[in-house]
């Protein structure tokens, strides 16, 4: 299985400041045939289901504010919130969908709070 490891486990950032969450996969999730990284980011607010923010490591979903961005390739990825808003308090998960046949795995989550 591909193990996804996020860092840090929790993070406190001041309003308006940048928040950075890292995700590392135990093997590359870059598909050489199409040069795509099979990695997604989700946001889970308290009492809610996860919400897809980013697919293909850097493609923001429709309606997701542009302060959210994803970057990275291969085994190392980053979710960045450029200017933290109060509504961004949540747990963030990365997930790989590289494995064939499917064996999807998630990171353990990073809890983001306001400092």
Partner 1 sequence: QLQLQESGPGLVKPSETLFLTCIVSGGSISSSSYYWGWIRQPPGKGLEWIGSFYYGGSTYYNPSLKSRVAISVDTSKNQVSLKLSSVTAADAALYYCARQVGWYSSSSGHAYYFDFWGQGALVTVSS
If the CB atoms of residues 16 and 48 are measured against partner 1, the closer one turns out to be: 48
Contacts of 28 (CB under 8 A, 6+ apart): 74, 75, 98
- Residue with smaller CB distance to partner 1, 2 or 82: 2
Q: Find, among 106, 72, 103, 104, the residue nearest to 92 by Cα.
A: 106
Footprint (CB under 8 A) of partner 1, residues 34-63: 34, 36, 38, 40, 42, 48-52, 55, 61
Among residues 62, 71, 61, 67, the alpha carbon closest in space to that of 88 is found at 67
Within 62-91, which residues bind partner 1 (CB under 8 A)? none
By CB under 8 A, name the binding residues for partner 1.
1, 31, 33-34, 36, 38, 40, 42, 48-52, 55, 61, 93, 95, 97-109
């Amino acid at each position: 299985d591909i193990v996804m490891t996020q860092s840090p486990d929790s993070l406190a950032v001041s309003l308006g400041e940048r928040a950075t969450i890292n995700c590392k996969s135990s093997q590359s999730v870059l598909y050489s045939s199409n040069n795509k990284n099979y990695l997604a980011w989700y946001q889970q607010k308290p009492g809610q289901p996860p919400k897809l923010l980013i697919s293909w490591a850097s493609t923001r979903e429709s309606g997701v504010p542009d302060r959210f961005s994803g970057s990275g390739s291969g085994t190392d990825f980053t979710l960045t919130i450029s200017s933290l808003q109060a509504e961004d308090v949540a747990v963030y998960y990365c997930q790989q969908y590289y494995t064939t046949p499917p064996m999807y795995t998630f990171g353990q989550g990073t809890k983001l709070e306001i400092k």
